[in-house]
A and B are shown apart, each in its own frame.
Chain A
Amino acid sequence: MIPRSAGRADQDFFIVARDIKYAYEGGIEALKGVNLRIKRGEFIAIVGGNGSGKTTLAKNLNGLLRPTSGAVDVAGMPAAKMTVAELARFVGYAFQNPDHQLFSGTVDEEVRFGPKNLGMIESEVAKQAEHAIALMGLQGFRSAQPLSLTLGIRRKVSIASVIAMDPQVILLDEPTTGLDAGETTDLFGCIRALNEEGHTLILITHDMRLVAEHAKRVLVMAGGRIVLDSDPAGVFSDLEILKSSKLEPPPVTLLAHRLAESRIPKDTATPEQLVDRIVALAGGRR
C-alpha cells in the first residue's frame, strides 16, 4: 500500500496536472492541454457547457481515464504509476447518475463495499462506513435497498460510498441534476460539512447559483481548455466568458452589470449581496 502522504508537492499542492490532453477513441480531443494545481481543502467548481470537457478532466484526475499526453501528480506521486484502486484512496468520484454506481442489497452494504474492497480491516471498514452514513444523514436508511430510494437519497448513498474510502479529494459530477430545491439545500449542507472536515471538494456543475453560494474557486471550461481560473467574483464580473462558455449569466449578474453606472460592483453574484449593496448606496431610509 502506498503511504498516505509522500513527497514535497503534498505540502503545497495535492493535485498537479501538467498540460494534460485526452482524446477519446475515434480521435475527438476532449482535453486540449490543461494545467491545474489544487491545494488540500479547496472548494472548487468546474463549470462549462455540455461537451466542454468537465467530466473528462475529472476522470483524468482520478485515473478513470489516463491522459493521452501530459501528466497528473496526486499526493506528490505520479498518478500514472498508481492503479485506479490506489488512486481511489486519494481522489473519490461520485457519478452524475447514482444508479451507475449502486448495486448492493442494502445501503449499509453499499457504503461498506468500497473500504472493504480497498483491503481495510473490518473494524476500520465499520468506522469509515459509520462516519460516511452519519455525514450524509443516512442513519434511517441503513437496511433500505438503494435502488428503491428517491433520487435525492440515492445520490447521498453514492456520495457516502465514496466518502467511506476516505479520499482526500471528492469529485462530485453534477450532484444536483434532478434534485429539487429542498433536496439540493439538504445535500449542500452535507457537502459543506465534508469541506469543513478538510476534504477537498471539486464540484462539476452548470448551476451558477450553486457556484455563487458555495465555491471558493471556479474553473471555467470551454472547448477542452480552462478559459478562466478565478474566485467566483472574477467569473461573475466577466459576462463575455460566461456567455462564450454556454453559461447563461444569472439575472442578478445581468442586473449588476446594467447597474454599473449606479456604482453596483459587477462581481455581484447573489440576491442578498445585490440588495446589501443597493441599500448601502441608497442610504438614508431603512
Chain B
Amino acid sequence: MRPLELRDVTFTHADSPKRALDGISLDVEKGEFVTLLGENGSGKSTVCMLSNGLIPHAIRGQLGGSVKVFGYEVAEHSVAEFATRVGIVFQEPESQLFCMSVEEEVSFGPENLAVPREEIRERVEWALELTGMKGYNDRSPFSLSGGEKQRVAIAAALSMRPEMLVLDEPAYALDPVGRTELYRVLRELKEKQGMTVLLAERDAEDASTFSDRIVLMKAGRVVGNGTPREMLRDPDRLRSIGIWPPQLSEVSALLNRRLGRSDFDFSSVQEAEKMISALISSGKGGAR
C-alpha cells in the first residue's frame, strides 16, 4: 500500500476564507525521500497534517478530494489508527518535548500503546542509536541543544515503529552544522531502514542533497514534481515561488547566460570544479 496518495485535494481552514490546498494530487512511494519545497503559506504544512489525520480530525475545516494513507481514507479513520504507521515531527522541538528525561520522552508513545516493557526498552535503544543520541537516556530534554532536541523528537516518533516519517521544517531553528547532522540522520533512516520520509522545507540547498524527489508548491498547488536536478535547475523559476535557488544552480545559470551556453548544470561541487577548471584552462592565453 502506498504511504500517501492525494487526489484533487482541497482544504479550507474553518477560520479562513482562503483555500490552504487548492486541488493537489500527489503520491509518496514506499521507501522514498520526498521533499515538499515551498514558501510560507504554500500548503506544505497542510499536506504534513493530512498525512496522519491531524487534518481533518484535530484541525477543522472543509476537506475535499481523497487522501489515502497506507490505503486508508484519512477522513474515515482516527488519528490514533495512524499513530503506529506515521510518525510526525514539527518545527519546534520544544512544542513536543515534555518529559523529565530523554528515555521517558522516547518511551512515552509505546507505553501508551501498552507495549511490553522489555520491547519498549529495545525500541528506545534502537531509536536513540539511529538518531545519534545513544547514552543520552537520563538527560533532561531541556538541557540539550536545539539539534539534539530535534533528534530526540525524531527518536520519540521512531519508537512507535512508523513506516513513514513526516517532518515539517525540522531544521527551522538549527545552526548549519545541526541541520546537516539532522539531515544525515534522516537520509540514513531511509537508506538503512527503508523508511519513507516526507519532509517540508524552504531551503533548496538542503533539499538538493538529501531528497529522491522534490515537489514544488505554491499557493496550495503542486507546481513541479521531479528529481532534485530537474526541479532545482532554474533559479528564476524557484525565485518565482519564493525559494532561494541553490548556489550551484545560480552559478550554472549565470555561466550559461554570460558565455552564451546551455550545458552547465552542476549538481555537485566536485562536478562544478571539474568543468570550471577545464573552462578556465582552455580559455587561458586566448583572451590576453
Interface pair B205/A150, CB less than 8 Å apart = no
Contact A261–B277 (Cβ < 8 Å)? yes
Instruction: Say if the beta carbon of B192 comes within 8 Å of chain A.
Output: no
* Those of B235-285 within 8 Å (CB) of chain A: 239, 242-244, 246-248, 250-251, 254-255, 258-260, 269-270, 272-273, 276-277, 279-284
Q: Is the CB of A50 within 8 A of B180?
A: no
- Is A182 a contact partner of B242 (Cβ separation < 8 A)? yes
B contacts with A, residue count (CB < 8 A): 46
- From known contacts A49-B175, A272-B254, infer whether A282 and B269 are also in contact, taking CB-CB under 8 Å: no
CB pair B177–A282 under 8 Å, yes or no, is no
Chain A, residue nearest B202 (CB):
A180
Q: Which of A179, A183, A262, A271 has the most CB of B within 10 A?
A: A271
* Chain A: CB-nearest residue to B235: A271
In the complex, chain A residues 261-286 whose Cβ is within 8 Å of any chain B Cβ: 261-264, 271-272, 274-275, 278-279, 281-286
- Max chain B Cβ within 10 angstroms of own Cβ: one of A177, A246, A250, A286: A246
Provided the pairs A248-B177, A271-B251 are in contact, do residues A180 and B280 lie with their beta carbons within 8 angstroms? no
Contacts of B174 in A (CB 8 A): 50
* A180:B40 contact, CB within 8 angstroms: yes
Whether B39 sits at the interface, judged by CB under 8 Å, is yes
CA–CA, A254 and B246, complex, Å: 13
Known: A180-B242, A283-B287, A285-B260. A206 touches B175 (CB 8 A): yes
Which of B202, B243, B251, B286 interacts with A274 by CB under 8 Å?
B251
Q: Which of these, A179, A246, A286, contacts B259 with CB under 8 Å?
A: A286
Q: Are A262 and B280 in contact (CB under 8 A)?
A: yes
Contact of A85 with B by CB under 8 A: no
Contact A180 B147 (CB under 8 A): no
Q: Which A residues lie at the B interface, using CB under 8 A?
A: 48-51, 150-152, 177-184, 206, 208-209, 246-248, 250-252, 254-255, 258-259, 261-264, 271-272, 274-275, 278-279, 281-286
